[in-house]
Amino acid sequence: MTAAPEIIVRPRFRLEPYVQFAQKAMAREATYRFDVFTSVASVLVRVYLLRMVWVALYARNAAPSELPLHAIITYSTVALLMGLVMDIDQTRQLHDKLHSGSIATDFMKPIIVPLYFFADGSGEVLFHAALIVPSLLLALFIVHIDVPNAFVLAAFFVSFFLGYLVGFCINFILNCVAFWTLEIHAVQLIVTWVTDLFGGEIIPLVIFPVFLQKIAFVLPFAAMFSTPLLIYVGVIRPERYAAAIGLQAFWLAVLAGIATLMWRAGAKRVIVQGG
């Protein structure tokens, strides 16, 4: 009996198939008109809600010095817009395919399967990213958003991109669990809610009581939302950019490593077991 084969990666790497995957994903997303409508509508509703919440809270309580009212409203609004792109599970296809068994055929194709998921997810994400523009324009009717200088913005986008990758890896790892047990929806949702809280999407981490802050800043979830957002609103100052972004990169490396290991182990399992 021969040993289980290693995953074969074609020596010559071609970009075109992946670009096509991304394009297909974008077209697919565009057909879900209702999803588009609800995504944008829900963002706007929450922009309004959070604004009213912060206004009410700041009216009667001592405001944090580093985060005045206009800053925290900016924070929430930008967070919600980021959510349009970040809250997508780009790798749920992995779970779906494992469920249906079609993952086996993917292994037979001359593509790097994880990269396929990334390309496909990116297509989806790019489409949603395009939604940010109209959402932003509409949101400006509801709130006022601070706009920082170009340098800060640049750092923000770098940090945002890293945060996106961190989120991708986390989703990927979660979906890899599906190699071992197919019922991951509940676990996924639970993890989602926890990351929402500790990621700084709903509430800026600097608002947290100190003991929770210590925990939150140590977890990778903060790298997804909190770091880019705190850069944007200026809580993280330029002199600390290197450290903050460095920490994000560190988490990215760690998570990517874990993701790779899980993928290899899971893929082996599929090949050995025959799908």
Partner 1 sequence: MKHLRVMLGVYQQYWRINILTTLEYRENFLLWFGFTFVYHGSAIAALWIVLNRFPSMNGWTFRDMAFLYGLWMVAHALHNTFFSTVGDIPEHIRDGEFDRLLVRPLDTLFQAIATPGQVFPDELILAIITLAAATWYSGVQVDATFLIFVPLIVAGGALIDLAFNLFISTVAFWFVRVDALRWIVIQLEQEFTRYPISIYSRGVRLLLTFVVPFAFMNYFPARYFLHKAHEGAVLPAGAGLLTPVIGIVFVALAYVFWRIGLNRYSGVGH
For 181, left (φ over 0), alpha (ψ -120 to 50), or beta?
A: beta
Spatial separation of the C-alpha atoms in residues 223 and 221, rounded to whole Å: 5
Closest to 252 measured CA to CA, from 116, 158, 135, 141: 158
Place of tokens 């640049």: 154
Distance (Å) of CA 275 to CA 104, 107, 260: 5, 10, 19
Contact region for partner 1 (CB under 8 A) — 80-88, 110-118, 201-209, 229-237?
A: 201-209
Q: In angstroms, what is the minimal distance from the CB of 61 to partner 1?
A: 4
Contact region for partner 1 (CB under 8 A) — 8-16, 39-47, 126-134, 233-241?
A: 39-47
Among 11, 34, 149, 274, binds partner 1 (CB under 8 A): 34
Q: In angstroms, what is the minimal distance from the CB of 108 to partner 1?
A: 34
Q: How many C-beta neighbours within 10 Å does residue 191 have?
A: 17
Interface residues for partner 1 in 157-196 (CB under 8 A)? 183, 186, 189-190, 193-194, 196
Among 49, 154, 182, 254, binds partner 1 (CB under 8 A): 49
Among 7, 17, 24, 64, binds partner 1 (CB under 8 A): 64
Among 11, 31, 60, 65, binds partner 1 (CB under 8 A): 60
If one asks whether residue 58 binds partner 1 (CB under 8 A), the answer comes out as: yes
Which residues does 207 contact at the CB level (< 8 Å), separation at least 6? 64, 67
**168, 114 Cβ separation under 8 angstroms:** no
Q: In angstroms, what is the minimal distance from the CB of 53 to partner 1?
A: 6
Place of tokens 């140590």: 218
What ranges make up the beta strands (E) of 2-44?
none
Spatial separation of the C-alpha atoms in residues 244 and 194, rounded to whole Å: 22
Interface residues for partner 1 in 205-244 (CB under 8 A)? 207-209, 212
Q: In angstroms, what is the minimal distance from the CB of 4 to partner 1?
A: 33
Residues near partner 1, by CB under 8 A:
34-35, 37-38, 41-42, 45-46, 48-49, 52-53, 55-61, 64, 183, 186, 189-190, 193-194, 196-197, 202-203, 207-209, 212
